[in-house]
Amino acid sequence: MNVLVFRYTTVVKAPIEEVWRFFSTAENLATITAFPNVNILSNPETKTGNEIEMKLSVAGVGVKWISLIEEVEPPFRFVDTGLKLPFPFTEWRHEHAFAENGAETIMTDTIMFRASMPSFITKALLENMFKGREKAIAAQFTNSK
C-alpha cells in the first residue's frame, strides 16, 4: 500500500499571529469541522510531545483518534501523526504550515497517509472535509474582528 499525499491550501484573512493562536489548540477542530463531529477528550495544546485524544462521531457511532504532536515551530508550522486512527486510515502524518502574505495568512495542510480503501474515495472525503473547514475558518476570522 503506497503512501498517498493530500494537500489543501486556505487563505485566511487574518495575520499569522492571530491564525497561529487559533490553531495552537486542538479545540479549534470542534469549531471548524462539521463532518465528522469532533470532540476533544484530552490535552488540546499544540505542544511537542502532547498526545491529543479525540472522539469522531458519524451517525451516532463514535471512534477514537489519538494524535501525537511531533514538531512545533510557532507561528509557522506543526506536525501531528496518528497513533490510533479510525477506519479507513492506517497511517497519518499531517503538516499544518502557515505563511505570511501581507495582512493574510496562507495555510497549507499536507497529509501523508495510507488507507484501506481506494484513494479516490479517501481523497474525496478529505477534499469535502477541508472545503467545509475553509468555510468555517472564513466565518471564524470574520466574526473575530
Q: What's the CA gap between 96 and 70, in Å, rounded?
A: 12
Tell me the whole-structure pTM to 2 decimals. Answer: 0.92
Q: Is the pLDDT confidence value at 33 over 90?
A: no
Task: Name the pLDDT band for 2 (thresholds 50, 70, 90).
Answer: confident
Pick the CATH number of 4-143 from 3.40.50.720, 3.40.50.2300, 3.30.530.20, 3.40.390.10: 3.30.530.20
**Across-strand partners of 104?**
101
Percentage of the residues of the chain whose pLDDT score is greater than 70: 98
Average pLDDT, the chain: 93
Q: Is the pLDDT confidence value at 145 over 70?
A: no
**In this predicted structure, what is the pLDDT of residue 34?**
79
In this structure, are residues 99 and 10 in contact, taking their beta carbons and an 8 Å threshold? no
- Range list of β-strands (E), the chain: 4-12, 37-42, 51-58, 61-73, 77-84, 89-101, 104-115
Which sequence spans correspond to the domains of the chain?
4-143
pLDDT digits (tens, 9 = 90+) for 58-115: 777 889 999 999 999 999 999 999 999 998 999 999 999 999 999 999 999 999 999 9
